Amino acid sequence: MIARLMLTLGDMLRVLTTLAGGAARRAACRKGYLLGLITVPFVARAQELPSPQDSMAAARQVVRWVRAGAVEGSGPELTGVCVTIRLDGRVIGRGEVMGEAADALGEATRVAIERSLSDLPADWDVRSEAARARLCVGLELAGPLIPLDGASDMELALGVSPGLDGVAVRMGTRLAARFPLQMLPARENVAMALRSLVAELADDPARGLAEFAELRQAGYTFYRFRTVQMAQLDPRGAAFFLHRGGRVIEPDEIDMALLREMADGLAVHLLHRQWPGMEGYGFMGTLDPVTGKAERLFSNPVGQGLGISALCTYIRSRHADPGIADEARRAVNELVLELAKVEEGEAEPWSDAASSAGVVVALLDAQPWLEPDIESVDVLRDRCTQRVVESFSPQAADFAVGVDENAWGMLSYAMVRLAQAGQGGIRPEQADAVVRATYRNTPPTRLVSHFPWLGWADMALAGDGAPVKGSTLLLDTRRRIDEHQLDALNLSPDDRDLSGAVVYTTGSNPLPDWNSIRPLPLLADMLADQRLTGGTLSQGEASTELGHLLGLVRYTRQLCAESSDGHMYVRPERATWGVRMSLWDPRMPVEASALALEGACRTMAAVEALAGRTGGSNAGADGAQSP
């Protein structure tokens, strides 16, 4: 029997690049093919890192020095050290030493303390022990430097695992380094970090713009290194060991209690994302928790609609916390009123088909909690409905010219919901034509880009009991997702925090990010529907699919920020439970948290539906229909 071999992220990327070839791989990525984990042999590289005992002793020493405001004595001999001092989540001092310094720990701490003094509040008394006790310390201890191969940005990145590895550049006897927990909150990729270090060594910003092949010829050498990561989460507590800046969510943590906690936490996070001022901005834009600020004052109309719909799903969940649900009802009404009021700089919700579709669905979801007879809401509904209706030509049985193909799935669902509500003059057969056109015009390998909306539309059209017309393609797409889901058995221990993610992309970077969770809400609904998934919790297709679903839930939970990530955030209470773009990009789009909330609520419902089954055939396989 051939044993499964573990791959690091760097190994996975290297294999993909080597086997696919540059042009072929880029073409495959542009077409959106699912990229799976390729299991091939590789040579493991030993990471000679400081032991846990030595690391903990070093952390205690640094905390004592920072509390005292001075370095007294010396620490152990280390390859490299980065000490970060934070005040209320904000970095006020950082010191890094790389390259077998005699007292790297003490020197890095000394530099961090000196730099922190210039960035303290005006009323700060540095002599006060109570004041210094508010400081939190972060620490990274470096392993050996390992040369990086490659002459291009992508080739150099292949050997580096983001969030775990730092990079360094040597020129002659001089060495400069960027540690992983410096790169992660700054969203600095490998090429950016290396070019910045080159410019630093050359004392010339323009030098960092040269090609890497040219820099190698000029004498620059590039390295990567792994670190032990530690940080205080509370000024009064000990430093904790971290993995990619946080902690790994273990599979056995995923149960109904955690799903309820996820749903409550995600709902509260979305409530915190409302604009607090007088302007009608609704949800704020993508949050950067490192700075505590939103990239824009307001989210786009699609994000607004998804957020409203997700809160409505939470309100309807029987597992919702009553107090949070009451707050969500109030917020839903406010958010719709704010969406109907287009502020200066905002895009009109009816300006494009995708935005209009998202708003139409949100208005239908929110109807029970909206104030009646609000003229601005009626205008919003009419204009968005008109835009949705005009996006499809019944005569041609196809989408109108100029409609973005990425909007087809959302338009399909909006059309079905309008038909069910008796709005917009849409008949069920017209809505059905839109759904069939989406299936017909989309290559099977791209159908996942229309999840969850296309599947929701098809299931809603069928109603209760009748076969789902597109079940064959829905089940085939689920199979593709299952096949390309990262399994902990195929990953190195260092990359186990990626297990459950689905690796697919429309760009050139196959690393998993928040887009992995897009199909989660639909996969939960498909699992609960006996027309699409037969069996029970303990046997048959349902048991297998539940395992895949919970794996994706685990990865979703991994993307949610928690207290262990809060050491990097200015206002961790506002960031907690927000879904990050990836494990190495802390930004939080509203859309990501909205779909995660949909997924958590629907997964709870699916588990309960399975628990109520006493048997059943494999209806998902036997009852498949063509679209």
Where are the domains positioned within the chain?
A: 54-242, 251-622
Burial class (CB in 10 A: 0-12, 13-18, 19+), 277: exposed
Query: In this model, does residue 443 exceed pLDDT 90?
Result: yes
Token pair 């708003």 in the structure block, residue:
359
pLDDT digits (tens, 9 = 90+) for 67-85: 888 998 887 788 899 999 9
Nearest to 440 by CA among 395, 398, 391, 388: 398
Bin 370: left if φ > 0, else alpha if -120 < ψ < 50, else beta.
beta
Nearest to 65 by CA among 101, 128, 110, 124: 110
Tokens for 394, please give them: 């019944």
Query: In this model, does residue 1 exceed pLDDT 50?
Result: no
- For 17-31, 101-115, 218-232, 282-296, which range has the lowest pLDDT when averaged over its residues? 17-31
* Cα first-last separation, the chain: 40
Query: In this model, does residue 248 exceed pLDDT 50?
Result: yes
Tokens for 138, please give them: 């972060």
Q: For residues 67 and 266, what is the distance between their CA atoms, to the nearest angstrom?
A: 36
Question: What is the arithmetic mean of pLDDT over 227-254?
Answer: 94
> Helix axis angle, 408-421 relative to 428-441, nearest 10°?
170
Q: What is the pTM of this model?
A: 0.89
Query: In this model, does residue 261 exceed pLDDT 90?
Result: yes
Question: What is the residue-wise DSSP string for 253-291?
Answer: G-SHHHHHHHHHHHHHHHHHTB--SSS---B-S-EETTT
pLDDT digits (tens, 9 = 90+) for 586-608: 999 999 999 999 999 999 999 99
CB atoms inside a 10 Å sphere around CB 473: 20
Query: Given CA atoms 55, 59, 65, 69 in this order, what sign does their dihedral have?
Result: positive
User: For residue 288, which amino acid is it?
Assistant: D
pLDDT digits (tens, 9 = 90+) for 297-356: 999 999 999 999 999 999 999 999 999 999 999 999 999 999 999 999 999 999 999 999
Query: In this model, does residue 581 exceed pLDDT 70?
Result: yes
Q: What is the pLDDT confidence band of residue 127, given thresholds at 50, 70 and 90? A: low
Q: For residues 619 and 625, what is the distance between their CA atoms, to the nearest angstrom?
A: 11
For 58, the enclosing helix (H) or strand (E) is: helix 52-68
pLDDT at 30: 31
Q: For residues 383 and 498, what is the distance between their CA atoms, to the nearest angstrom?
A: 42
CB atoms inside a 10 Å sphere around CB 562: 18
Q: For residues 48 and 53, what is the distance between their CA atoms, to the nearest angstrom?
A: 14
Task: State the fold for domain 251-622.
Answer: Glycosyltransferase (1.50.10)
Bin 295: left if φ > 0, else alpha if -120 < ψ < 50, else beta.
alpha
Residue 407 DSSP SS3: helix
Q: What is the pLDDT confidence band of residue 627, given thresholds at 50, 70 and 90? A: low
Task: State the fold for domain 54-242.
Answer: Dna Ligase; domain 1 (3.30.1490)
pLDDT at 90: 85
Q: For residues 497 and 513, what is the distance between their CA atoms, to the nearest angstrom?
A: 12
Question: What is the arithmetic mean of pLDDT over 374-387?
Answer: 96
Residues 6+ apart with CB under 8 A from 94: 82, 83, 84, 85, 111, 112, 115, 182
Token pair 């297998």 in the structure block, residue:
544
Q: For residues 148 and 155, what is the distance between their CA atoms, to the nearest angstrom?
A: 9
pLDDT at 123: 67
Q: Pairing state of beta strands 287-288 and 165-171?
A: unpaired
The conformation of residue 246, written as its DSSP 8-state character, comes to: B
pLDDT at 77: 80
More confident residue, 237 or 76: 237
pLDDT at 256: 96
Q: For residues 600 and 257, what is the distance between their CA atoms, to the nearest angstrom?
A: 11
Question: What is the arithmetic mean of pLDDT over 96-112?
Answer: 89
| Top-ranked range on mean pLDDT: pick from 58-67, 142-151, 354-363, 556-565 | 354-363
Three-class HEC string of 522-535 = HHHHHHHCCCCCCC
The HSE-up count of residue 571 (CA atoms within 13 Å, CB side) is: 12
Nearest to 176 by CA among 153, 141, 201: 201
Q: What is the pLDDT confidence band of residue 436, given thresholds at 50, 70 and 90? A: very high
Query: In this model, does residue 508 exceed pLDDT 80?
Result: no
Question: What is the arithmetic mean of pLDDT over 375-387?
Answer: 97
Token pair 């917020």 in the structure block, residue:
331
- For 542-551, 602-611, 614-623, which range has the lowest pLDDT when averaged over its residues? 614-623
For 392, the enclosing helix (H) or strand (E) is: strand 392-393
More confident residue, 542 or 508: 542
Residue 81 DSSP SS3: strand
pLDDT at 155: 87
The HSE-up count of residue 534 (CA atoms within 13 Å, CB side) is: 11
Q: For residues 608 and 473, what is the distance between their CA atoms, to the nearest angstrom?
A: 26
Q: What is the pLDDT confidence band of residue 621, given thresholds at 50, 70 and 90? A: very low
Residue 119 DSSP SS3: coil
Q: What is the pLDDT confidence band of residue 379, given thresholds at 50, 70 and 90? A: very high
pLDDT at 453: 98
The HSE-up count of residue 419 (CA atoms within 13 Å, CB side) is: 23
Query: In this model, does residue 213 exceed pLDDT 60?
Result: yes
CB atoms inside a 10 Å sphere around CB 467: 13
pLDDT at 154: 85
Residue 171 DSSP SS3: strand
Residues 6+ apart with CB under 8 A from 53: none
Tokens for 100, please give them: 């077998």
Burial class (CB in 10 A: 0-12, 13-18, 19+), 192: middle
CB atoms inside a 10 Å sphere around CB 301: 26
pLDDT digits (tens, 9 = 90+) for 16-60: 333 333 333 333 333 332 333 323 223 334 458 999 999 999 999
User: For residue 415, which amino acid is it?
Assistant: M
Nearest to 504 by CA among 521, 487, 491, 518: 518
Nearest to 136 by CA among 566, 497, 490: 566
452 with 518: CB under 8 angstroms? yes
